[in-house]
Structures are given as structure tokens and as C-alpha cells.
Amino acid sequence: MAYPAPSDQQQKLERLDGGRFAVPLDSAAGGGQLTVGRFSVAKGEAPPYHGGIVHPPENVPHGHRIASDTAGLYGQIILGPPR
């Protein structure tokens, strides 16, 4: 069973816009099949439209814009069988 790392042991990156990215569950802890990342962002943050990395439906561009003062976003990567 996979467990997230304590906050002080997570990999962390500072983004150019001042946001932060942490990895509470890396691929080693996820048995090579799962990685979970957490973004901490400020109001107005919005990535460019992107696609191809989302599950339902795949390859459809999408985006978001933060309307609150701060937000925490989680993303996960689940590896499936090769295509």
C-alpha cells in the first residue's frame, strides 16, 4: 500500500510565478504505477490550455483559472499498459 511522504520529506519545486509544486507520493512509493503532485497557487494563476495528459476524454484541451486568494490542486499520474 502506498503512503504519502511527510511534508518535510516531499520533493518541492518553486515555480516562476511564485507557485509551489510538491510530490507527496512519488513513483517509488507508488510502486512505479502512481505519482501524485500538489500545486499551491495564487489568485489569477492559469496554465496555458493543454491536453493529452488528462483521462476523460483524452487529448481534449482544457484549463482553469484560480478565483480564490489561494488554492491547492492535486494531480495524479497513473501508468497503464502500453498502447
Encode pLDDT of 17-69 as tens digits: 677 888 888 888 888 888 888 888 888 877 666 564 445 556 667 677 788 89
Q: Is the pLDDT of residue 10 over 80?
A: yes
Q: What confidence tens digit (pLDDT) does each residue in 55-83 have?
A: 555 666 767 778 889 888 777 777 766 65
Domain residues of the chain, as ranges? Answer: 7-78
C-alpha span between 43 and 10 (Å, rounded): 24
What pTM value is reported for the model? 0.61
Distance separating alpha carbons of residues 53 and 19, to the nearest angstrom = 21
